[in-house]
Amino acid sequence: MPSSRASEEQQQEQAAEPERDLRAELERMEDRFKRAVADLDNYRKRTARELDRLVADRSDAVLLEWLEVVDGVERALSQKPENPLYDGLRAVLDHMDAVLERQGVHRIGRPGEPFDPTRHEAVEVRETDAVPDHAVVEVLRSGYARGDRVLRPAQVAVARAPQSES
């Protein structure tokens, strides 16, 4: 009987071997499937981020073009306030500012605020004690931001404490 028991065990092992192979193959296929699903999900997320970035970049480019027009109207207003067109240009500028506001764009750079190289571009340094050292003395060209993202830094004159003559 011992030989029949050994042959019976051998037959059971042979019968179980295809099942083990099939289970191992199933595990490999499940792993490949899970990886493919994860890769697809990562691809979707990456393309959504890229699309959002492209839309934001294009929107910012259009806004920068619009800011050039705003600058032109501001320059025209600064020339002669007694000009008969002044009130009309002022109304146009107010409307432009309202459009920018609706797009989430706001002006940055105010006299007296501390100089911040991420929000300001220093184009002039003035010795003065009217404002603290390294503060904005005058805004020469308005800067704009959309949320926390700076579209265009403000061009400013920065204060420097007067040199004492010793």
Domain boundaries, the chain: 1-103, 104-166
What pLDDT is stored for residue 3 in this prediction? 61
Please write the tens of the pLDDT for every residue from 5-21: 667 777 777 767 888 88
**What pLDDT, on the 0 to 100 scale, is given for residue 18?**
82
Give 143's strand partners. Answer: 108
- Residue listed under structure tokens 């002039």: 124
Which fold does the domain 104-166 belong to in CATH? Nucleotide Exchange Factor Grpe; Chain A, domain 2 (2.30.22)
pLDDT, position 14: 72
Q: Are the C-beta atoms of residues 165 and 148 closer than 8 Å to each other?
A: no
Give the global pTM: 0.70
147: left (phi over 0), alpha (psi -120 to 50) or beta: left
Three-state secondary structure call for residue 42: helix
Rounded Cα–Cα distance for residues 64 and 62 (Å): 5
User: Per the structure block, which two tokens stand in for 53?
Assistant: 């970035």
Residue 4 has pLDDT above 70, yes or no: no
pLDDT of residue 131: 86
pLDDT of 62-91, one tens digit each? 999 999 999 999 988 888 778 788 889 999
Q: Within 13 Å, how many C-alpha atoms sit on residue 48's CB side? A: 6
pLDDT of residue 116: 94
The arithmetic mean of pLDDT across residues 38-62, rounded, is 95
**What is the pLDDT at residue 162?**
84
Residue carrying the six token digits 């192979």:
21
Distance, in Å, from the CA atom of 129 to the CA atom of 92, rounded to the nearest integer, reads: 37
State the chain's mean pLDDT as an integer.
Answer: 89
- Contact between 154 and 108 (Cβ < 8 Å): yes
d(CA 140, CA 24): 72
E strand segments, 6-135: 105-108, 120-127
Tens digit of pLDDT for each residue in 111-158?
A: 999 999 999 999 999 998 888 889 999 999 999 999 889 999 999 999
